[in-house]
Amino acid sequence: MDFDVTHGFEILERTPATVSALLTGLSDEWILVNEGGDTFTPRDVIGHLIGGEETDWVERTKMILEHGVDKPFPPFDRFSFREDYKDVSLAEMLATFRDLRARNLDHVRSLGIQPEQLELEGAHPDLGTVTLRQLLATWTVHDLAHIRQIARVMAKQYRDAVGPWRKYLRVLDE
């Protein structure tokens, strides 16, 4: 499927409710576990998504529309949330994510992006030239990837508990 703003926004609009339904009210054993090393916990994923709402997707959209490739995107700090939200409850983080996402989608809608503008280019610090279409498609897939990540991290908590059924549950070995 080719990227379409309306279709992409169908996913972006639902992500806050999806992660909230999945995580609200869970014990720390579910939300503070990771896959080892510097990997994200489900709580970290929400912090990371907030960071993207604060400094990445909409800011880069505006940069493409206003500056094209003449002004490179600033690097995105994938881990800034660890300091910024270290003392914030998960419930507050989920509310912040919901509010920021709604505001950001409203803002992007207000830009009235036309199909030909989706081919406008920007300069990514690592990837080089990217289009607005690619940026907005990535925002959508980024959400889906992190929803999957949350589910995968949580599923792995029962890797051994499922016994022989593990062979049918590929998520446990990803």
The domains of the chain are located at 5-173
Average pLDDT over residues 151-168: 96
Q: Give burial (CB, 10 Å; 0-12/13-18/19+) of 121.
A: middle
Rg of the chain on CA atoms, in Å: 18
Whole-structure pTM value:
0.94
- Render pLDDT for 113-136 as a digit per residue (tens, 0 to 9): 999 999 999 999 999 999 999 999
- In Å, how far are 8, 55, 72, 145 from 134, measured between CA atoms? 11, 17, 16, 16
Distance of alpha carbon 102 from alpha carbon 173, whole angstroms: 35
Question: What is the chain's mean pLDDT, rounded?
Answer: 95
- Render pLDDT for 60-90 as a digit per residue (tens, 0 to 9): 999 999 999 999 999 988 888 888 788 899 9
How much of the chain exceeds pLDDT 90, in percent?
88
Average pLDDT over residues 91-100: 97
DSSP line for the chain: ----HHHHHHHHHHHHHHHHHHHTT--HHHHS--SSTTPPPHHHHHHHHHHHHHHTHHHHHHHHHHHGGGSPPPPP-TTTHHHHTTTS-HHHHHHHHHHHHHHHHHHHHHTT--GGGGG-EEEETTTEEEEHHHHHHHHHHHHHHHHHHHHHHHHGGGTTTTGGGGGG-GGGG-
Q: Which amino acid, one-letter code, is at 135?
A: L
pLDDT of 80 reads 83
- Looking at CATH, the fold of the domain delimited by 5-173 is given as Four Helix Bundle (Hemerythrin (Met), subunit A) (1.20.120)
Q: Is the pLDDT of residue 38 over 90?
A: no
Average pLDDT over residues 42-64: 96
pLDDT of 86 reads 87
pLDDT of 1 reads 79
Q: Which runs of E-coded beta strand occur in 34-133?
A: 121-124, 128-131
